[in-house]
Structure 1
Amino acid sequence: MRDYHYYQSVFAGIPKPFAFVDLDLLEENAEQIVLQSNEKKIRIASKSLRSVSILKRLLQLDDSFSGIMCYSAQEALHLCAAGFDDLLMGYPIWEERWIEALGSEIANGRTITLMIDSPAHVQHLERIARGHQFRIPVCLDIDMSSDWLGFHFGVWRSSIRSLDAALTVAHQVASSEYLYLDGIMGYEAQIAGVGDRYPRQFVKNTLIRMLKQQSARQIAERRAMIVQAVRELGLTPRFVNGGGTGSLHLTGKENAVTEVTAGSGFYSPGLFDYFQDFRFHPAAGFALEIVRKPALHIYTCAGGGYIASGSAGKDRLPKPYLPKEARLLVNEGAGEVQTPLLYRGQETLELGDPVFFRHAKAGELCERFTHLYCVSGGKIVEEATTYRGDGLYSL
């Protein structure tokens, strides 16, 4: 029973603010992710976790978890130093010194795959690899967005938006002496990252579900077509990656896909409350301290303005989680130095008491804290450092 008193008791005496992970719920979420993946290998998206200890814990949970999708060169180098291998860079890297550093790790036996989506990326990597005489494995990033009558459903990510564009880049890689095609990836953000169960938005939710269904069919065909065409060139990519937590149940069924990616579902942040097709447990959050009671039913916490990235909106605000029925004030939201709440529930709240929140997105919470209190069986069992706690302040 994860109610207010459970966490209040677990964290009694811990100075606030602090962040935490409920390891029992984290493991239950991991089990659900395995079930949804259709027996595909699962690459863990590190941007949603941002803790070496948590990453290691998940990789040891189940043989289905294999490899990491990184989001920056600095992070990948940090994970190399911590002993991780099979790292896929989720985004292209242009800065030469970071490419050189990753290339050195590759030359020393690490499996690190760099992302590309244009001839310019191929030419840039080719020049650097030639200068240092090492071979770089690369992954072709395919655009997975959908377009209908001028409406763009998806994110502006890869420039490879057609079979011809994919084959152009693949041909360049095939003719390179210093690059080789290690993988193909396509991230369907419009399915994996777009909620379709927002309260009091029936028309919008219905439209998004329809768009998702049509897009899922389209991208499955596109992915299969491109993978087949690339293989007909004589290229043999080690993996074909797709998905995100929000689309595992669909992407895992594609025959062309050999592995899926999951990240946010492990912590299950606030934005994941707005998806129709799955439910995970809230496994991570943070606590603020009540420092004022300016009016009846109003409780003001210190700090709390941990706003998530993306298009600005109410769903990017942190969500009061426990005690239940606590609400942000419409005209104030979550503030830089204070966050007032409206609460008319059954709990008797006093100055110094905690209020537990969930961040809107998963890993960004870890940019605010140096460590996570790890809870299991009603007690704190570990203090796991975040990347920030490890000294990585700029990623």
Structure 2
Amino acid sequence: MDERRRYDRATADLDPPFAILDMDALRANAAAMVRRAGGKPIRLASKSIRCREVLRRVLAMDGYAGIMAFTLPEALWLASEGFADILVAYPTADRQALAELAGDARAAAEITLVIDCVEHLDFVDAAVDGVRNRHEIRICLDIDAGFNALGGRLRAGVLRSPVREPDQAVELAAATAKRPGFRLAGLMAYEAQIAGVGDRVPGPYGRVVRLMQARSQQELIVRRGRIVQAVRQLADLEFVNGGGTGSLEKTTREKAITEIAAGSGLYHPRLFDFYRGFTGRPAALFALPVVRRPAPGVVTVLGGGYHASGAPGASRLPQPYLPAGLRYDAREGAGEVQTPLLGPAAHDLRIGDRVWFRHAKAGELCERFDALHLVEGDHVIETVPTYRGEGRAFL
């Protein structure tokens, strides 16, 4: 039975729009990621999942340990639900959440905050001033892992931390270590230009990407190793985090790295089709119903304008996946309330038929749907709420 027939059969009693998670594909992707990680644990990136039940199921698998959260309120919620070892990978300016963290013994023991400047420490101190029985707050230093070339005139990588060199990291580590109420627990550096940029691109641009990534990896191995060695002179780091789905087999080779963060590869969204080092199986899909047939070779589905974050462009649109052979109208694209689709496959679609899509990115799909229907074979075995379905919108 082909995928489209299997998904249609499994969800025959459901009315689209809805989202599914193919559990066979999810497990295959999870096992492949563990193999690529080469024995180092994978910290599960919650922003790529955004469903508590899926987080629980993956963390129960061998090779996965801990969560990389995206906001402190999310981390507090997860900790209250029994999750442990949660790294908030982005600085927070949420004063109420900081006060809650400082006043909760269990949350303070399980949650680690990321910082990249002394000002972050000052902000936390001001936010928790007056909290009775303030608990020690765990801290992780965020290091810039971007690649600079031509004396810094060219850069690849995201604009995150201003801390780039060993002396800068040591200065911030020392300031953290001597500040009452804080404990330096870890260090992270995310090489987005390697982990988040596909290298299976044809032509000259693809060659440039692969050259940049190779040189960036060589530079980062040395620089990150020196930073970790220097900071370990001041603090007994519990973890050193790096990488992502796109760089598992590369990042794991670094001796300085103790764990790798990843999550998108479990769902394997469209943007992860463009890597030479691995091939996953699409696991998270959403179905939209055909509601119009405005012209020969054209159908219109309900909704569809689920653009992914990042620089705007066609790569951020969902992919019409099944049946194969559908494309967007260049003048309309993916619309808020309706989306025209063109192509030979449109001839055979009727009112009420489903078109299956893949989101460009992973967890952002769950911001659009209240539930994920878990599919095994040609049956829905369970329906579980997403963050949205639990009334949790953290950004």
Please report the TM-score for the alignment, with normalisation by the length of structure 2.
Answer: 0.96
Relative distance call for 1:283 and 1:157 in structure 2 (3 A) is same
Match of 1:391 in 2: 391
Is the 1:271–1:360 contact (alpha carbons within 8 Å) kept by the matching residues of 2?
yes
Is 1:269 aligned with 2:272?
A: no
For 1:31 and 1:214, how far apart are their aligned partners in 2?
29
Give the counterpart letter for 1:270 in structure 2. R
- The aligned amino acid for 2:80 is A
- SS of structure 2 residue aligned to 1:307: coil
**How far does the alpha carbon of each residue in 1:243-297 deviate from its partner, in whole angstroms, 9 at most, with x for none?**
1000111001111111111110000001111222211100001000001111111
**Worse-superposed segment, 305-314 or 77-86:** 77-86
Say yes or no: does 1:85 pair with 2:84: yes
Superposed displacement of residue 329, structure 1: 1.9
Structure 2 partner of 1:158: 161
Alignment of 1:170-209 (within 5 A): 170-198=173-201, 201-209=202-210
User: Per-residue displacement from partner, 1:315-348 (whole Å, max 9, x unpaired)?
Assistant: 0000011011121222221111111111314983
Give the structure 1 partner of residue 368 of structure 2: 368
Asked if structure 2 preserves the Cα contact closer than 8 Å seen for 1:273 and 1:279, the reply is yes
Change (3 A) 1:2 1:101: farther
In the TM superposition, residue 127 of structure 1 has moved relative to its aligned partner by 4.4
Q: For structure 1, which segment, 237-246 or 73-82, has the greater mean C-alpha deviation from structure 2 after superposition?
A: 73-82
Task: Tell me the equivalent position of 2:138.
Answer: 137
* 1: CA distance, partners of 2:130 / 2:171: 24
Q: Which residue of 2 aligns with 1:226?
A: 227
The one-character-per-residue Cα deviations of 1:47-91 (angstroms, maximum 9, x if unpaired) are 0000000000101122x1110000011211221222101100010
Once residues 13 and 238 of structure 1 are traced to their aligned partners in structure 2, the CA distance between those partners, rounded to angstroms, is 49
Shift in CA distance, 302/107, structure 1 to aligned 2, threshold 3 Å = closer
Q: Distance in 2 between matches of 1:388 and 1:102?
A: 23
Q: In structure 1, what is the Cα distance between the partners aligned to 2:391 and 2:332?
A: 33
C-alpha distance in 1 between matches for 2:15 and 2:225: 52
Paired letter, 2:220: I
Deviation at 1:109, TM superposition (A): 6.2
- Provide, for residues 106-149 of structure 1, a one-character-per-residue CA deviation record: whole Å limited to 9, x for no partner: 45664110101011112223444564332111000000001112
Asked if structure 2 preserves the Cα contact closer than 8 Å seen for 1:53 and 1:384, the reply is yes
Distance 1:147 1:45, change over 3 A: same
Q: Which residue of 2 aligns with 1:52?
A: 52
Q: Distance in 1 between matches of 2:125 and 2:64?
A: 32
Q: How far did residue 95 of structure 1 move?
A: 2.0
CA positional deviation for 1:164:
1.9
Corresponding residue for 1:7?
A: 7
Q: 1:241: Cα distance to partner?
A: 0.5
Higher deviation after alignment, 188-197 or 315-324: 188-197
For 2:108 and 2:73, locate their aligned partners in 1 and report how far apart those are by CA, in whole Å: 18
The letter for the 2-side match of 1:377 is: G
Is 1:76 aligned to residue 64 of structure 2?
Answer: no
- Structure 2 gaps of 5+ residues are none
How far does the alpha carbon of each residue in 1:179-202 deviate from its partner, in whole angstroms, 9 at most, with x for none?
11100001001111112224xx41
Is 1:355 aligned to 2:355, yes or no? yes
Looking at structure 2, the residues matched to 157 and 346 of structure 1 have their Cα atoms a distance apart, in angstroms, of 44
Specify the alignment match of 1:309 in structure 2.
Answer: 309
- Kindly provide the amino acid, as one letter, of the partner of residue 361 in structure 2: K
SS of residue in 1 equivalent to 2:254: coil
2:214 equivalent in structure 1: 213
| AA at the equivalent of 1:227 | V
- Computed over aligned residues only, the root mean square deviation of the Cα atoms, in angstroms, reads 1.5
What SS is found at the alignment partner of 1:288?
strand
- After superposition, where does 1:333-352 map in structure 2 within 5 Å? 333-345=333-345, 348-352=348-352
Q: Residues 270 and 358 of structure 2 are in contact (CA less than 8 Å); yes or no, is this contact kept in structure 1?
A: yes
* Partners of 2:58 and 2:76 in 1: CA distance: 20
1:61 aligned partner = 61
Task: In structure 1, list runs of 5 or more residues that go unmatched.
Answer: none
Give the Å deviation of 1:379. 0.5
- TM alignment of 1:231-270, pairs within 5 A: 231-233=232-234, 235-270=235-270
